[in-house]
Amino acid sequence: METNARLTRLASCAGCGAKVGAGTLASLLGDFRTRTDPKLIVGFDKSDDASVYVVNDETALIQTVDFFPPIVDDPYLFGQIAAANAISDVYAMGGEPKLALNVMCVTEAMEEAWIREILRGGYDKAYEAGVIISGGHTIRGSEPLYGLAVTGFARPDQIRRNDAARPGDALILTKPLGVGILATAAKAELAGASLMDKIYRQMATLNRDASRAMQRYRVHGCTDVTGFGLMGHGCEMAQGSGCTLHIQVGKVPFHPEALEMADMGLVPAGAYRNRDFAEGSTRIRGSVSRAMQDILYDPQTSGGLLIAVDERDADALRKEIPGAAIIGYVTEREEWSIVLEA
């Protein structure tokens, strides 16, 4: 869409970089009285990507919601990325998304055509995913926001949790890192159009094929790498599983331009929140530059899946997912949640 919209100028932060820091919500919700139900096998207390409720022996209900401020100026593309990001939570749990509700905030500065294009982008991406948008809720506010509340389904034995990695598993990452840093550079007009077109295509790409591929292998744990970055989500996986993740930094896929931008200090605020959360649980073996560490902590918008898979299946699964890489392995619990190996 040809547009003069500057949606990103209407927001104080962009995409999943707006996410509240890892660990913060857990402390806020810690003493609330809540009901329990043995059929709720994944709830907010698990720090997972979505909740899971077992309906019967054949069906588990997966629910999630995700929305954020614009990470791009093109309204249609913003809608696509926001929808892909929200739907990804269901894919990360091993499910198939089926229904969604729009969640939207519009501002006085937004033209009606922009609002329509955001919604059209969301509807088109949902259609691609086989999802029916059956309604939603829109309010007025000071910053634009868009996303989806998504419902999906899976067999209970196909649910992939973020707290089920096992010693001996290999770690696979399905999309390269650096999105948040490059989006920050684009906002400062320091990233070229061709580079950002590639980044935007990546963010708008569904994790559907990777999710379906992992169901054919002995995958024990999975999460999508979004606002908490590889380190934040990896730390949650390690702590929930009672294991240690060893990340071989030289094998981690990333956009090389992000390294230059990080070296210039173009790092989103969310990366610092992620560092505050995970750095104290991380050991670095060898030399990892500050810029490369920034990439590992960088909040991703509509990022890839981090998959813990039996090492015997790792190479076959990697080959089924274009762009995926084996980036490390899982061991019994050590002193640290994550060990970065240079």
- Beta-bridge partners for 331: 244
DSSP 157-177: GG--BTT---TTEEEEE-S-B
Q: CB of 125 within 8 A of CB of 204?
A: yes
C-alpha–C-alpha distance, residues 15 and 154, integer Å: 28
3-state secondary structure of 79: helix
Which residues 6+ apart lie within 8 Å of 120 measured at CB?
76, 79
Rg of the chain's alpha carbons, rounded to an integer? Answer: 19
Q: How many CB atoms lie within 10 A of CB 331?
A: 16
List the structure tokens of 194: 């061709």
Catalytic residue among 13, 16, 105, 243: 16
C-alpha–C-alpha distance, residues 277 and 96, integer Å: 31
Count of residues in the chain: 342
C-alpha–C-alpha distance, residues 263 and 310, integer Å: 36
Helices (H), the chain: 24-29, 75-92, 112-129, 179-187, 193-203, 208-214, 229-241, 256-263, 269-278, 290-297, 314-320
CA within 13 Å, CB half, 182: 24
Tokens 């994550």 correspond to 338
Is 16 in the active site?
yes
Residues marked active site are found at 16
